[in-house]
A = this chain, B = another copy of it.
Amino acid sequence: MMQSMKKIVLPALCAAALIAVPAAAGEDKAEFPSPPEIVAKAKAEEWVAIAPSDLLVMDLTDGPRGPRRVVIQLMPAPFSQGWVGNIRKLAAAKWWDGTSINRVQDNYVVQWGDATEKKALPDGLAVVPESNYIFNIGESRSLSLDKRWDKKFEWNLDRIGDEQPPKGRIPAYIDGFKSYANYDLFERGWPLAVDTVDFEQWPVHCYGMVGVGRNLSPDTGTGAELYTVIGHAPRHLDRNIALVGRVIEGIEHLSSLPRGTGALGFYEKEEERVPIVSVRLGNDVADLPAFEYLSTESASFAAYAEARANRRDPFFNIPAAGADICNIPVPVRRKAQ
């Protein structure tokens, strides 16, 4: 395969010591809204509606505090669509009804599906190849991403020597770290990694992302066995497992479950498992509110990400001058009626 030149660059975050001067005194801090304040002021047109057909709604049995509904947004093309297609079929077949949450491993994942591993799958599920863990973006797209990175990088270089962070909105967030790939970025609402040497892009295992359990290679899983991340981003799973979505509401019904005491956090006793009443696509759920996410291409998202990387609201003395991609969760909310 043709490879573009590997680039030698100053990591944006090497500028930390120079940018991370103490923020100005109280009066000036008011000029810097907090990340939630930036999101609250985003314009209506900066929010992107999520189609109900791109939602997966999982209802567990009621817990001690009432109903437990988990809402998952499925990944859009071009990522993981073979598995996403299987998940649509499994939901349409009501396959998950009567299955359960079977594994809760602290600082790692919650996993659900058929604990017996004997339930027949619906016909017509795709067998997706391992190559689909990664999306090939091609050389010209890689070059354009490199240019975009250079622009940010130059902007960071320009700031070296500044005694104060510039005031007002900054046009792009500071990428938190370059690792695993050339760099991480947000596109179309999702956290992604990019390798512009091999022209590759793939979704990132941040908190709340949903992936497809599988057996040893060459198995890639069907989508019937799913998990979500409930701890520090396990990025070693990137490119090794399909990511198919993220929990956008109700993750606390999973993350606060008792940890399993078996190997890998599996529940040892059948009665510990949490029953799944139903899993449906959003368009098959009558009482589902509308959801929307803040466009990651919007000015407000750039300001929000920059503010996450450089907290200057009153609590903070020293802005970090960077945030890793998983510490910049994409804002998702119920759409106002």
Whether, in the assembled complex, A148 has its beta carbon less than 8 Å from a beta carbon of chain B, the answer is no
Q: With A and B bound together, what is the CA distance between A133 and B200 in angstroms?
A: 40
- In the A-B complex, list the 3 residue pairs whose CB atoms are closest, starting with the nearest: A13-B179, A177-B177, A252-B259
- Please determine whether B216 and A314 come into contact, CB atoms closer than 8 angstroms: yes
Whether, in the assembled complex, A226 has its beta carbon less than 8 Å from a beta carbon of chain B, the answer is no
Residue of B nearest to A229 (CB): B232
> Which of A73-81, A120-128, A234-242 contacts the other chain?
A234-242
Residue of B nearest to A174 (CB): B179
* Interface residues as binary, A126-149 with B (CB distance below 8 Å gives 1, 0 otherwise): 000010010000000000000000
Whether, in the assembled complex, A282 has its beta carbon less than 8 Å from a beta carbon of chain B, the answer is no
* Interface residues as binary, A190-204 with B (CB distance below 8 Å gives 1, 0 otherwise): 000001011010000
Q: B235, B258, B320, B329: which contacts A235 (Cβ < 8 A)?
A: B320
Residue of B nearest to A193 (CB): B16
* Interface residues as binary, A245-288 with B (CB distance below 8 Å gives 1, 0 otherwise): 00000011001111100000000000000000000000000000
Which residues from chain B contact A290 at a C-beta distance below 8 Å? none
Q: B195, B207, B240, B317: which contacts A315 (Cβ < 8 A)?
A: B240
- Please determine whether A320 and B180 come into contact, CB atoms closer than 8 angstroms: yes
Whether, in the assembled complex, A337 has its beta carbon less than 8 Å from a beta carbon of chain B, the answer is no
Whether, in the assembled complex, A6 has its beta carbon less than 8 Å from a beta carbon of chain B, the answer is yes
Residues of A whose CB lies within 8 Å of any CB of B are: 6-11, 13-14, 16-18, 20, 64-65, 104, 106-107, 130, 133, 160, 176-182, 195, 197-198, 200, 206-208, 216-217, 231-236, 238-240, 251-252, 255-259, 308-309, 311, 314-324, 326-327, 329
- Please determine whether B13 and A322 come into contact, CB atoms closer than 8 angstroms: no
Q: What are 8 A-B interface contacts by the 8 Å CB criterion?
A: A13-B179, A107-B208, A107-B329, A177-B178, A178-B178, A206-B232, A216-B315, A236-B308
Which residues from chain B contact A130 at a C-beta distance below 8 Å? 317
Q: With A and B bound together, what is the CA distance between A321 and B10 in angstroms?
A: 19
Q: With A and B bound together, what is the CA distance between A316 and B235 in angstroms?
A: 12
- Please determine whether A323 and B232 come into contact, CB atoms closer than 8 angstroms: no
